[in-house]
Structure 1
């Protein structure tokens, strides 16, 4: 891939348009999209204009909305309208949902009446809801049809639909009653009733439900498309597997950023400016510095103990590091379990009890090592203090790390906000308290 990138840069530097045209023709859409995302607006627009119409749309839909904005900002007139007009309605709604209001109005004004109406309907759903991601262009069947008639409907209307592999089935009032698969329709006797092929216990969601929850449901149920209905159970569209993947990827990216104590941001890393990257991280770092003053206060409070037994200071980095790591591991495991539905907020006490025992075992293992190291470096009483502290701190850190995301979820806060660095900072301060309390009990200082 590096060689391809170097060649592309050389082609740009040499202003070799025929070479650039060959490059975009020889590479698959996802690789072209990656290069568009990496490039500045002018280069991205130039590459995009060298694509033929069908490939241009495929490449464009591979881009994240910020990178789509970058390309569209350099296009004008007919090229601009063609791209936006041919996009799938759900992709167009996401593009406009993240765009400035002036840009969104410009795009909507240039759409055909049918596409404008469809896009406006999707934009009417709350941000982050399934309604923003569903495809309204679906083929729905009436349950009284036969397999042969259903196949005729698919042939007639399937070209305008995003997918025809999962076919919602409705009654005469358009209320959802189940789904049939295209495979069953094709392989069945043409006179067989659609009702006989119906999967009635198929999962579904309402348009106002959270898109991430719907995508996780698809993952758990192993389905390629999920029917989306309104409050009266009428079919509005389908959430397709490709859109579900994008939702999960965006949610995981946000969680990873928050767990690393950074604000989530969209777009390609290589196209982001240094200022943008720094801005996404600086707020959390400032907050963590303020939180870290707790550790300084603890050290000041126990200054006499450190003066009496200076060897205690040698093991502070070891204890804070071990406690912080144990808390981060537990927090990460809990956030992940919450995201995939393996634990719920009502499991808080069970999770706390489980992780406290896990931390106890980890602390015992680390304490044994700490006892040996401390006995060699200093003396047995200090080593004993370190070992006991490791046991208690690890158990405490694992309990805190596991329960904080659950408490955040119960309070309506994104569990990922209770990030590993925040847990680490809290455990550092409380771990020192535990250390000096045990030192006072064992050493009498």
Structure 2
């Protein structure tokens, strides 16, 4: 059968709406857990629970752990008590702790009540770490090796305990006080002589983080150091867990998603875009728009101050949209570049002088290039060289100023413990609009002698 003759397979949501249980089972059998989770996230809770209940037991947990906590909660509330407790108990401790940290207290209490004493103690320990810290995301289920073991004995320990561990590829090595000595890779162990001592092969320089450290920063560290797992220690350097690569990827994705939302002047949505209600999306954007419209009143005030100047030379008003738009765009570009550099650790707060000096030169160069166009456009539109010169000089000054503001504001925000993304593109553009008009009218009045 040719591709044009093939019938497109219905989406899972369509099969649910048609109550086609056979079709749902076939669809689930033909798709990977992450694909199933994405389809479930697109549905409302009453629909998503139907295909989830039809999953095989061995795939149910895989799909569930691919979901974000808001969707996991919706699924849990649709399950009977036995299925509810069985699913919670099978989750990895770190995934379970993150879920219970976000659900209502009533749901968390119900979940903890069904756990074994050991699982409950482990989960409570992870929940005891601050929200957003590495401790909430690390896995305590690891194979820990003593530094005095031989390679052969270490491999026996891995075989004996590996089934109960989330990862065995990176193995922490500790001393008698459980203080972290370093790590060894399983791939190295299997290639070494069984009589070799672990302490002769351990990587003592491997990066490590405190359990109360920021989780996003730890994930970025793993990305920079190309690690599959990052050791986590307590205040006394005792090993307490590993941050694994899958959790690090999720942390970076969540942080980038939040930054993108903040940079567009909105609050991040909880859950899938398609499943979000119109009301939720409007609410996420409205708060920032209200703040920005209040900030935009600065522009109105500036225009009122220079109202007499506009009455004398009305041609100046023609160039206001061009100047404010250009300044806003330059400021937004600078802010976005610095926010990104902050996120990946390329710049720090102490680099503020270096960043502002660099951005001022970039803005000046851009302004000079754009000033040539502004001078040409101004001359053709109003046929007044003085006005055209005022516009061209304003472009240079505004671009330089906007680049400095855009580069400095994220760093200043970080210094006062505010998310740099919050003060990025929209807010920078709004502030540059008002200050750019001050620059424009000041230059125009000086050149025109008003």
Q: Scaled by the length of structure 1, what TM-score is found?
A: 0.98
Corresponding residue to 2:178 among 174, 196, 221: 174
Displacement of 1:419: 2.3
CA distance in 2 between partners of 1:71 and 1:4 (Å):
28
SS at match of 1:187: coil
Q: Which residue of 1 aligns with 2:409?
A: 404
Q: Which residue of 1 aligns with 2:223?
A: 219
CA distance in 1 between partners of 2:59 and 2:370 (Å):
57
Corresponding residue to 1:183 among 182, 187, 191: 187
Alpha-carbon spacing, 1:237–1:386, altered in 2? closer, same or farther (3 Å): same
Displacement of 1:185: 0.7
Pair 1:108-2:112 in alignment:
yes
SS at match of 2:193: coil
Q: Which residue of 2 aligns with 1:441?
A: 446
CA distance in 2 between partners of 1:14 and 1:126 (Å):
45
Corresponding residue to 2:398 among 388, 393, 397: 393
Displacement of 1:6: 4.0
Displacement of 1:81: 1.3
Q: Which residue of 2 aligns with 1:381?
A: 386
Contact 2:172 2:183 in 1 (8 A): yes
**Deviation sequence 1:13-33 (CA, Å, 0-9, x none):** 321101101111111111100
**Deviation sequence 1:412-431 (CA, Å, 0-9, x none):** 11111112100000000000
Pair 1:143-2:147 in alignment:
yes
Alpha-carbon spacing, 1:279–1:10, altered in 2? closer, same or farther (3 Å): closer
Q: Which residue of 2 aligns with 1:83?
A: 87
SS at match of 1:271: coil
CA distance in 2 between partners of 1:339 and 1:9 (Å):
37
Corresponding residue to 1:419 among 424, 441, 449: 424
SS at match of 2:22: helix
SS at match of 2:159: helix
CA distance in 2 between partners of 1:4 and 1:385 (Å):
62
**Deviation sequence 1:126-150 (CA, Å, 0-9, x none):** 0000000000000110000000000
Q: Which residue of 2 aligns with 1:208?
A: 212
Q: Which residue of 2 aligns with 1:322?
A: 326
CA distance in 1 between partners of 2:278 and 2:315 (Å):
43
Give the superposed CA RMSD.
1.1
Pair 1:12-2:16 in alignment:
yes
Pair 1:372-2:376 in alignment:
yes
Displacement of 1:12: 2.2
SS at match of 2:183: strand
Pair 1:267-2:233 in alignment:
no
Q: Scaled by the length of structure 2, what TM-score is found?
A: 0.97
Matches within 5 A, 1:242-261: 242-261=246-265
CA distance in 2 between partners of 1:194 and 1:13 (Å):
58
SS at match of 1:162: coil
Query: More displaced, 322-331 or 107-116?
Result: 107-116
CA distance in 2 between partners of 1:225 and 1:75 (Å):
34
Could you tell me which runs of 5 or more consecutive residues in structure 1 were left unpaired when the two chains were aligned: none
SS at match of 2:266: coil
Corresponding residue to 1:67 among 48, 71, 74: 71
CA distance in 2 between partners of 1:269 and 1:7 (Å):
17
Pair 1:361-2:365 in alignment:
yes
CA distance in 2 between partners of 1:152 and 1:8 (Å):
45
Runs of 4+, deviation exceeding 3 Å: 3-7
SS at match of 1:178: strand
How many aligned positions are there? 443
CA distance in 1 between partners of 2:172 and 2:440 (Å):
62
Corresponding residue to 2:201 among 193, 197, 205: 197
SS at match of 2:274: helix
SS at match of 1:269: coil
